[in-house]
Structure 1
Amino acid sequence: MGVSMATAEYWVDRWERQQRRYAIHREERFAVLADVAEYATRDVARPLLLDLGCGPGSLAARVAGRLPHAEIVAVDRDPLLLELARTHRAEAARYVEVELGAAGWVEALRLDRAPDAVLTATALHCLGEDTLALIYRHLAQLLRPGGVLVNADHFPAGGPAGPGLAAHLGRRRMARTLAGDEPDWASWWREAAEDPELAHAFAERARRRPATSPGNALTFAAHARLLRAAGFRSVTCVWQYGESRVLVAFA
């Protein structure tokens, strides 16, 4: 039994609204990701893009709108979020259920050529540092020469004064952005679990869900060190507000 379009649309809309709590200037960040992908693939007739930790297809849908000639492979481990994506945003990408960093995860993508860009938004901070380092090594080998990894996420500031200031800027900007009836992460999952139409997806999610990842709180500098150690040539920040940044690494 699948999810109806109306149900998928409702829960994806609720997802988009709750994510506004956690990604400063979320639409602007998505636009920057698409800008970098557009630039990196400007001479490619049919670009291949990967979207890591795609959730219900938020980033894939926006990039597909900007780059309709691109092929997007969107990856996540959560069967519930992928079912919402496949129902509500079926045309945006080919969706693959796989756990990033697990044995054989790259082969499970079934790619017919090297990707031109790997995009990810508010996802890689959920991975432990060792898993992240492994994924960076895999991506450095997977991307075509000159390809890019573009990561929009939270990067805690370094130094004695930076973290407090960056966090304060983020909190103040969020307070000005939220409009009122915005669910948070916990309430979205709690409310979605009560929808009978999603019961089968929650049951599958419970059956497949691996152990909780420890996550990471790596600074931008720490990510840059891991990326260079993995084989990326250079790393730069192309957008920032407080702890929220868009990192670009060149293969």
Structure 2
Amino acid sequence: MGLSMAAAESWVRRWERQQLRYAVDREERFTVIADVVEHVTEGQPCPQILDLGCGPGSLAARLAARLPRAEIVAVDMDPLLLELARTHRSDAARYVDTEIGAAGWTEDLGLRRPVDAAVSTTALHYLSEAALRRTYAQLAAMLRPGGVLINADHLRQTGARHARIAAHVGRCRARRQRVSAHEDWDTWWAAVAEDPELADLLEERERRGPITEAGDAISLPRHVELLRRAGFEHAAPVWQFGDSHVLVATRAG
């Protein structure tokens, strides 16, 4: 028996609250991403957007609401989160079960034309530098000339003192927003484990294990350097608070 709509809606709503604990001004970050996508796709009748590490469809749903004519392809390797997205947000995107950066992942997407924008929020930091370098080059090849990659994530600064200041600013903002009142990641997953309706999905998630090429956090300047080497003409943040950034890279051409 498939996941019920009521259960999916309840778990997605709980996920959204849990994520507020980790992303400073999360809703504003989503809005900035949509602002950029709307700008670079202006005048196009059916822009194509690739959502990397979509989870339960949080960003895809917001982009679909903002750009109802867009074709969104949303990618994740977590079977449980993908099923929540497919059940609760089925109209927002075409969901693809594949591991970003793994062998053959670009073929799994089933793309028939160049992508106008690739977006990601708190997902690409899981990749090792080698996997990220390869993935950036693959994304540059998938994007149309002038297309953009938008990465909203926690990206550390170089320079220990400056990094500490940026992190402190973010923590102060988080305290003012009282994010600690929200459920944390471990508690959310522990609760998932108690729901029999999610047992098969959780078992499959655990069977798959972690991503193939995980790595340490890469600094913002290093991300910029890797993007330029991959064929992006320009890469720079368009929004920042503490160490939370929305980094936009434009494909050459």
What is the TM-score of this pair, normalised by structure 1? Answer: 0.97
2:61 matches 1:61: yes
Shift of 1:96: 0.3
- How do residues 174-189 of structure 1 correspond to structure 2 at under 5 angstroms? 174-178=174-178, 181-189=181-189
Match of 1:6 in 2: 6
Match for 2:25: what amino acid? H
Give 1:166's aligned residue. Answer: 166
Question: In the superposition, relative to structure 1, how do residues 211 and 65 fare at CA in structure 2: closer, same or farther (>3 Å)?
Answer: closer
Which position in structure 2 is the counterpart of 1:143?
Answer: 143
Distance 1:179 1:130, change over 3 A: closer
Structure 2 alignment gaps of length 5 or more: none
Post-superposition shift, 1:43? 2.4
Corresponding residue number in structure 2 for 1:153:
153
**Paired residue for 1:204?**
204
Give the match for residue 95 of structure 2: 95
DSSP 3-state at the match of 1:146: strand
Distance 2:157 2:119 in 1: 22
Return the offset for 1:194: 0.8
> How far apart in 1 are the matches of 2:18 and 2:211?
24
Residue pair 2:99, 2:211 contacting (<8 A) in 1 also: no
In the alignment, the residues of structure 1 paired with residue 14 and residue 249 of structure 2 have an alpha-carbon distance, to the nearest angstrom, of 32
Question: Counterparts in 2 of 1:111-122, with a 5 A limit?
Answer: 111-122=111-122
* Matches of 1:66 and 1:213, distance apart in 2: 33
Cα drift, residue 176 of structure 1: 1.7
Count of aligned pairs: 251
**Structure 1, unaligned runs of 5 or more:** none
Offset at residue 23 of structure 1 (A)? 0.7
TM-score, normalised on structure 2? 0.96
Secondary structure in 1 aligned to 2:245?
Answer: strand
Larger mean Cα displacement after TM superposition, 213-222 or 84-93: 213-222
Other structure's SS at 2:33 match: helix
Write the distance in 1 (CA, Å) between the matches of 2:180 and 2:220. 32
The AA in structure 1 aligned to 2:45 is: A
Cα distance change of structure 1 residues 143 and 211 upon mapping to structure 2, 3 Å threshold = closer
How far off its partner does 1:21 sit? 1.1
Paired AA for residue 169 in structure 1: V
Contact persistence 1:78–1:97 (CA under 8 A): yes
Does the 8 Å contact 1:136/1:226 carry over to 2?
yes
